[in-house]
């Protein structure tokens, strides 16, 4: 097997790491949770605050195109997702966009009322669906949460919309977006995909796969910053759907201040209120790095990093017995490796103390995220070496690693 040095030397994407402001003493393997800060984002925030807001004040809405940011940034996101221009908005957050998408789908699919979701979906996805059922009542909305293993066989013939994650946040498993979407369509159901863990590392080919709706966030592999806005994709053929949160930003003539609502044509109708200009400008800047690299090249490097991680894990006597929850098959693997370890929390804390930044998900999962934009093979090797040492020495038993932090 090639050395980490050789792999880094041969990596055509390696120079991109210089675009990021990463601490020298850390191997940052948590881009699946919060992406790194790029120099472009830093500069953009300065520019927007000092020059755009500071110098032009209210005039910025006209002179700096602030009003168009959700559509402009949406199209840049759409290009990474295989969407056509005019089908993606950058706005709100994933949870709110999911609410809009599910409500729009239920309206389009009436008299069907069922939302099928996976029982182990990211909590917000299920909370939003449950909240919708409570709001609309059983005549208009019913949530059916099915175990993952039953998703392939669940009867969808009376289902309005299927709400699923492209990449599972716990296991890192990547779903067959084409196959599942086609199966749902055959039964007359729509599909809404949560792309939180795939946007920026896997092309979901939304148009080619005939996906109906999708939502995502920009703070993970897209590096938009903590709490950065989310996105909403709605296929053009569904732009007749109503926005359940019709606000003035989605009005056909927002500065006419009409007393009743008329939706704007196209994707804009899914806007609600005023968006955060500073945060959205940061997302726009974060996306510039993607102009010089294809999503396929990023996917290939992401898989190479996780392959290398798995190979090293297997070679080390201290790590080879660990239970890996992430599928080995490339088409079924996202951009993280999830290891199940009964002492997962203190082990994650011991790794972090040694500069290997990972995260932990209940009840016993340690996640290693691989961002092909900035992670190196040398970091992967360091992570496995430290993990092996932590397991061998059992230093994770020390009292200092047992304390539960709020964000794990
Ligand atoms: C898969 C998935 N869905 C939804 C969310 C929540 O998104 P937001 O808090 O931006 O609404 C997250 C957050 O990490 C996530 O990982």
Q: Whose CA is nearest to atom 8 of ligand 1?
A: 94
In a domain, 67, yes or no: yes
| Domain final residue pick, 291, 318, 341 | 291
- List 173's β-bridge partners, or say none: 333
Q: 268 with 243: CB under 8 angstroms?
A: no
- 208 & 95 share domain: yes
Letter string b/e over residues 107-146, b meaning 16 or more CB atoms within 10 A of that residue's CB: ebbeebbbbbbbebbbebbbebbeebbeeeeeebbbbebb
| Domain final residue pick, 291, 313, 331 | 291
In a domain, 80, yes or no: yes
Letter string b/e over residues 3-25, b meaning 16 or more CB atoms within 10 A of that residue's CB: ebeebbeebebeebbebbebeee
Q: What is the CATH number of the domain that holds 362?
A: 3.90.1150.10
Residue 328 appears among annotated catalytic residues? no
Quick check: bond before 111 cis, omega within 30? Answer: yes
For residue 17, report the phi and psi dihedrals to the nearest 5 degrees. Answer: -55, -30
| Domain final residue pick, 257, 291, 325 | 291
- 109 & 249 share domain: yes
Ligand 1 center to 237 CA (angstroms): 26
Ligand 1 center to 123 CA (angstroms): 8
**Catalytic residue chosen out of the listed positions 76, 112, 220, 333:** 220
Q: Is 56 in the pocket of ligand 1 (CB under 6 A)?
A: no
- 366 & 262 share domain: no
Residues 100, 80: Cα–Cα separation, whole Å: 22
What is the chain's percent helix, strand, coil content, to nearest 5? 45, 15, 40
141 DSSP 8-state letter: -
pLDDT tens, the chain, 408 aa long: 899 999 999 999 999 999 999 999 999 999 999 999 999 999 999 999 999 999 999 999 999 999 999 999 999 999 999 999 999 999 999 999 999 999 999 999 999 999 999 999 999 999 999 999 999 999 999 999 999 889 889 999 999 999 999 999 999 999 999 999 999 999 999 999 999 999 999 999 999 999 999 999 999 999 999 999 999 999 999 999 999 999 999 999 999 999 999 999 999 999 999 999 999 999 999 999 999 899 999 999 999 999 999 999 999 999 999 999 999 999 999 999 999 999 999 999 999 999 999 999 999 999 999 999 999 999 999 999 999 999 999 999 999 999 888 888
Q: Is 169 in the pocket of ligand 1 (CB under 6 A)?
A: yes
Residues 395, 401: Cα–Cα separation, whole Å: 9
Q: List the Cα angle 368/5/296 in 5-degree steps.
A: 55
Q: Whose CA is nearest to atom 15 of ligand 1?
A: 196
Number of domains in the chain: 2
In a domain, 408, yes or no: no
- 349 & 205 share domain: no
Residues 111, 99: Cα–Cα separation, whole Å: 19
In a domain, 39, yes or no: no
- 306 & 272 share domain: no
Residues 140, 346: Cα–Cα separation, whole Å: 46
In a domain, 38, yes or no: no
- 253 & 310 share domain: no
Written as one string, the DSSP assignment of 54-76 is HHHGGGHHHHS-GGGHHHHHHHH
- 285 & 299 share domain: no
- 282 & 345 share domain: no
- 286 & 305 share domain: no
- 62 & 110 share domain: yes
Residue 219 appears among annotated catalytic residues? yes
Sign of CA dihedral 92, 93, 95, 101: positive
**Catalytic residue chosen out of the listed positions 28, 99, 122, 374:** 122
- 113 & 174 share domain: yes
Q: Is 276 in the pocket of ligand 1 (CB under 6 A)?
A: no
Q: What is the CATH number of the domain that holds 191?
A: 3.40.640.10
Residue 262 domain boundaries: 44-291
Q: List C-alpha distances in Å: 355 to 163, 187, 332, 349, 387.
A: 37, 49, 29, 10, 11
Quick check: bond before 313 cis, omega within 30? Answer: no
- 272 & 376 share domain: no
Q: Whose CA is nearest to atom 13 of ligand 1?
A: 196
Residue 360 appears among annotated catalytic residues? no
Q: Whose CA is nearest to atom 12 of ligand 1?
A: 196
In a domain, 102, yes or no: yes
Residue 96 CA, closest ligand 1 atom number:
11
């Amino acid at each position: 097997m090639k050395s980490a040095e050789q792999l880094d030397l041969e990596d055509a994407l390696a120079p991109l790491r210089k675009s990021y402001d990463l601490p020298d003493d850390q191997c940052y393997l948590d881009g699946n949770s919060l992406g790194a800060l790029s120099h472009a984002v830093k500069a953009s925030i300065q520019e927007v605050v000092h020059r755009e807001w500071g110098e032009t004040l209210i005039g910025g809405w006209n002179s700096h195109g602030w009003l168009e940011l959700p559509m402009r940034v949406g199209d840049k996101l759409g290009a990474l997702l295989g969407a056509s221009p005019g089908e993606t908005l950058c706005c709100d957050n994933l949870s709110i966009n999911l609410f809009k998408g599910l409500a729009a789908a239920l309206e389009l699919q009436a008299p069907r009322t069922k939302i099928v979701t996976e029982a182990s979906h990211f909590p917000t996805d299920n909370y939003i669906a449950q909240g919708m059922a409570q709001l609309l009542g059983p005549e208009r909305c019913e949530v059916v949460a099915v175990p993952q293993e039953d998703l392939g066989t669940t009867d969808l013939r009376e289902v309005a919309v299927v709400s699923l994650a492209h990449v599972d946040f716990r296991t890192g498993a990547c779903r067959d977006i084409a196959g599942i979407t086609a199966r749902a369509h055959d039964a007359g159901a729509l599909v809404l995909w949560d792309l939180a863990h795939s946007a920026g590392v896997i092309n979901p080919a939304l148009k080619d796969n005939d996906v109906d709706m999708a939502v995502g966030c920009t703070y993970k592999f897209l590096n938009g910053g903590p709490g950065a806005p989310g996105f909403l994709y709605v296929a053009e053929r569904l732009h007749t759907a109503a926005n359940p949160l019709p606000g003035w930003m989605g009005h056909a003539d927002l500065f006419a201040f009409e007393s009743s609502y008329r939706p704007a044509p196209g994707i804009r109708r899914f806007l609600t209120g005023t968006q955060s200009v500073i945060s959205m400008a940061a997302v726009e800047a974060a996306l510039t790095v993607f102009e010089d690299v294809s999503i396929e090249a990023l996917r290939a490097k992401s898989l190479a990093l996780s392959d290398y991680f798995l190979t090293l894990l297997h070679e080390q006597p201290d790590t080879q017995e660990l239970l890996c929850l992430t599928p080995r098959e490339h088409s079924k693997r996202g951009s993280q490796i999830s290891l199940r370890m009964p002492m997962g929390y203190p082990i994650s804390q011991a790794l972090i103390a040694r500069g290997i930044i990972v995260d932990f998900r209940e009840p016993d999962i340690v996640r290693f995220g691989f961002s092909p934009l900035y992670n190196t093979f040398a970091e992967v090797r360091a992570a496995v070496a430290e993990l092996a040492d932590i397991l061998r020495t059992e230093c994770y038993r020390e009292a200092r690693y047992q304390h539960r932090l709020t964000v794990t």
